Amino acid sequence: MIIREAVDKKIMNKIVYAKNRAVELLKKHGIEISNAEIILDENLQKIADAIINENIPKIRINPNKIAEFDSYDIVFIILHELFHELLLTEVDEIDIDDFDHKIYNKATDLEINQIIAKMIGTDKLSNRLISYVIWPNYYGLPFNKRWHFYYKELKKKGY
């Protein structure tokens, strides 16, 4: 039990450090959010997710899945989840009748990952992280487009 707690404490410190860097980076880019709350959840299916309620972000993280990533990778993962909440709510940019949530998630991931890679600097990210997240070239698509572009293209290509 004591060992488990020590491990959790070490991971928690790593995550809190990354969270503070993430909030700082957002501030530098003109996005002010309140200090985020971190919740460790071993039962979470994904590595992380986030919700923002009244400007207060709550970030859930699976400590077992995050342990293998470097410090800047964790900043990336936290920012990724926050960006889903912060920036990309313009669902009306696409044809709602034909809305495909899986493609929407992929398309927003493509835009978000590029924004964050620029914010952090690709050279600071591990190869593990870079191969873990998705990029436009995996789908034969160009970089530097908005998510609605990717949505339409992914749909056309049948992803």
| Contact residues for Zn ion, defined by CB under 5 A | 109
Of 13 and 122, CB closest to Zn ion: 122
C-alpha to C-alpha distance for 135 and 109, rounded to whole angstroms: 8
Of 73 and 109, CB closest to Zn ion: 109
The vertex-113 CA angle with 108 and 73, nearest 5°, equals: 135
57: left (phi over 0), alpha (psi -120 to 50) or beta: beta
C-alpha to C-alpha distance for 100 and 15, rounded to whole angstroms: 33
Of 19 and 80, CB closest to Zn ion: 80
| Residue 130 CB neighbours (<10 A) | 14
Give residue number: closest CB to Zn ion: 109
C-alpha to C-alpha distance for 125 and 62, rounded to whole angstroms: 20
C-alpha to C-alpha distance for 103 and 86, rounded to whole angstroms: 19
Of 109 and 153, CB closest to Zn ion: 109
The amino acid at 18: A
**Residue 21 Cβ vs Zn ion, minimum distance, rounded to whole Å:** 19
Of 19 and 106, CB closest to Zn ion: 106
**Residue 6 Cβ vs Zn ion, minimum distance, rounded to whole Å:** 31
**Residue 133 Cβ vs Zn ion, minimum distance, rounded to whole Å:** 8
> Residue 114 has which token pair?
């590029």
**Residue 10 Cβ vs Zn ion, minimum distance, rounded to whole Å:** 26
**Residue 36 Cβ vs Zn ion, minimum distance, rounded to whole Å:** 17
